[in-house]
Amino acid sequence: MAPPADLRAWIALLEREGELVRIASEVDPELEITEINDRVVKSGGPALLFENVKGSVHPLLINQFGTERRMCLAFDAPSLDSVASKLSDVLEMQPPQGLVDKVKGLQKLKSIADSRPKTVRRAASQEIVLESDDASLDLLPIQTCWPDDAAPFITLPAVITKDPHTGTRNVGMYRMQKLGPHATAMHWQIHKDGRADYLATDGRIEVAVALGLDPVTAYSASAPLPKHIDEFMLAGFLRGEPVELVQAKTVDLEVPANAEIVLEGYIEKDELTDEGPFGDHTGYYTPSEPFPVFHLTAITMRRDAIYPSIVVGKPPQEDAWLGKATERIFLPAIRMTVPEIVDYDLPIAGAFHNCCIVSIRKAFPGHAQKVMHAIWGLGMLSLTKAVVVVDEWVDVHDYEEVMFRVGANVDPARDVLLTEGPLDHLDHAPTRQFYGGKIGIDATHKGPQEGTREWPPEIEMTPEVQALVDRRWDEYGISLDASAGNGRIRQSPGPLRRLLRR
Ligand SMILES: Cc1cc2nc3c(=O)[nH]c(=O)nc-3n(C[C@H](O)[C@H](O)[C@H](O)COP(=O)(O)O)c2cc1C
Ligand SMILES: [Mn+2]
């Protein structure tokens, strides 16, 4: 098995796995689909294929990424961490020792070389070609997601541009507000690569937008890669198959051959429109702001093309799992620069940029502060508002345990770092847009070198008594429901839990 080759293979897989429901009743892309989907996402329900969307002949697929299980199916992997280890294998390559090592090394190098996209001459994504007035966005079942949204928005696009100087491709997921049948806004936020390509181009920049991709390639458009790395290459690596590209019809760009729908067009420098309001992944509406205007020159499609959508809003929403995939897949790359990091967690409720919990192998005074600054200096993690640092033995995914460490180990006068830096484009809390306060909380054990009193030992039962109680458990005749859950703080279950509850 390998990850699905296109959206249709993905839908077939979801169906075989009992992970997809087809809805034959007519539904309205204005708000109704959002309300249905919101209930399904929040209860961990299936992907939804709406076959009869009011006003369009094209079916709409939503919630394809909405659970951890589906995300693993998409990558054809037992866990998201196993996807990450494929990457760390390559990142952590050492000079080979013997012949076997050399052969393995060559295989790894080949897996990188084979990741580069491949050009093909004929493509399913161009079975139908619509140009000039025939190319109309009115054909597509574009959703109006939330009541105060300014218009319908294309929400799951892979937007393709080229750096005018280096020719390097960039692929990013940026929402597109429908302005009419032949134009949209392009929501290139200030820190993003697509915007950098636009700013570096004089006059007109050509743009292509792929809709309805295989799930790994669609995910890759949302991955925060350094600017000079083509997201299609990451997709090829993660799929184990290169992404196939075909020359677009009206612009000088290559587009995925397996896409359901491709929008081709251009953006003129300094032609801006008011974009938004839009009910955003922050859980609030982002207000109207000027963004560039995308003009459509062609739509190409597969026959009976399926339109993909996603709704963001108050977490948890479907995008949580795209974010969790990034959290897991990028851990090996983060460890390359900051090897003392053991693990990290970006809570879904924190909309990813609001909070980062990180565990470290602490080796010297101020180490937690070093790691905070490293996070504030790393790619898109630099936008993180709050960083919480814990010791290596703390499970960063167990928020109760993290809360316990913060409560038990922090002297706010000594262990809280307040600083300033760049913030997410969409964060409404800072007084100024894009820039504001950051907080670092050092919840690690402190040593005398850090000027503290002696740190007390943690409470732990002896292994001997634990083994004795294990052996005798049945004899006591006490039955416990493991899932009833009276706290999950490892090493120190009952009493501390009660302490925290008081
Ligand atoms: C569903 C979804 C919608 C997104 N919408 C936007 C958006 O409208 N504008 C934006 O700048 N980033 C948006 N993002 C985040 C970018 O896709 C992400 O930062 C990506 O790394 C951008 O690619 P780039 O690094 O090549 O710029 C969205 C992500 C997801 C998962
Ligand atoms: Mn990029």
d(CA 391, CA 377): 21
For residue 123, the model assigns a pLDDT of 98
d(CA 345, CA 352): 9
Cβ neighbors of 370 (< 8 A, separation 6 or more) are: none
d(CA 6, CA 4): 6
Tokens 């997410």 sit on residue = 424
For residue 492, the model assigns a pLDDT of 41
Two tokens at 375? 């996070």
For residue 195, report the distance from its CA to the centre of ligand 2, in Å: 10
Active-site residues, by number, are 280
Length of the chain: 502
Cis bond upstream, residue 316 (ω within 30): yes
For residue 257, report the distance from its CA to the centre of ligand 2, in Å: 20
The residue whose CA has the least distance to atom 1 of ligand 1 is 319
Whether the CB-CB separation of 56 and 29 falls below 8 Å is answered with: yes
The residue whose CA has the least distance to atom 21 of ligand 1 is 224
d(CA 267, CA 280): 24
Ligand 1, residues at Cβ distance < 6 Å: 170, 172-175, 187-189, 192-194, 222-224, 310, 312, 319, 322
Residue 291 DSSP label: E
For residue 36, the model assigns a pLDDT of 98
The DSSP-derived string for 43-103 is TT--EEEES-BTT-SS-EEE-TT-SHHHHHHHHT-S-HHHHHHHHHHHHT-----SHHHHH
DSSP-assigned beta bridge partners for residue 48: 21, 62
In this structure, how many other beta carbons lie within 10 angstroms of the beta carbon of residue 315?
Answer: 19
For residue 24, report the distance from its CA to the centre of ligand 1, in Å: 31
Two tokens at 303? 């026959």
Cβ neighbors of 90 (< 8 A, separation 6 or more) are: 108, 111, 112, 237
For residue 490, the model assigns a pLDDT of 54
Per-residue pLDDT of the chain (502 residues; tens, 9 = 90+): 799 999 999 999 999 999 999 999 999 999 999 999 999 999 999 999 999 999 999 999 999 999 999 999 999 999 999 999 988 888 877 777 888 888 888 888 888 888 999 999 999 999 999 999 999 999 999 999 999 999 999 999 999 999 999 999 999 999 999 999 999 999 999 999 999 999 999 999 999 999 999 999 999 999 999 999 999 999 999 999 999 999 999 999 999 999 999 999 999 999 999 999 999 999 999 999 999 999 999 999 999 999 999 999 999 999 999 999 999 999 999 999 999 999 999 999 999 899 999 999 999 999 999 999 999 999 999 999 999 999 999 999 999 999 999 999 999 999 999 999 999 999 999 999 999 999 999 999 998 889 899 999 999 999 999 999 999 999 999 998 877 666 655 544 333 333 333 2
d(CA 363, CA 343): 16
d(CA 234, CA 186): 24
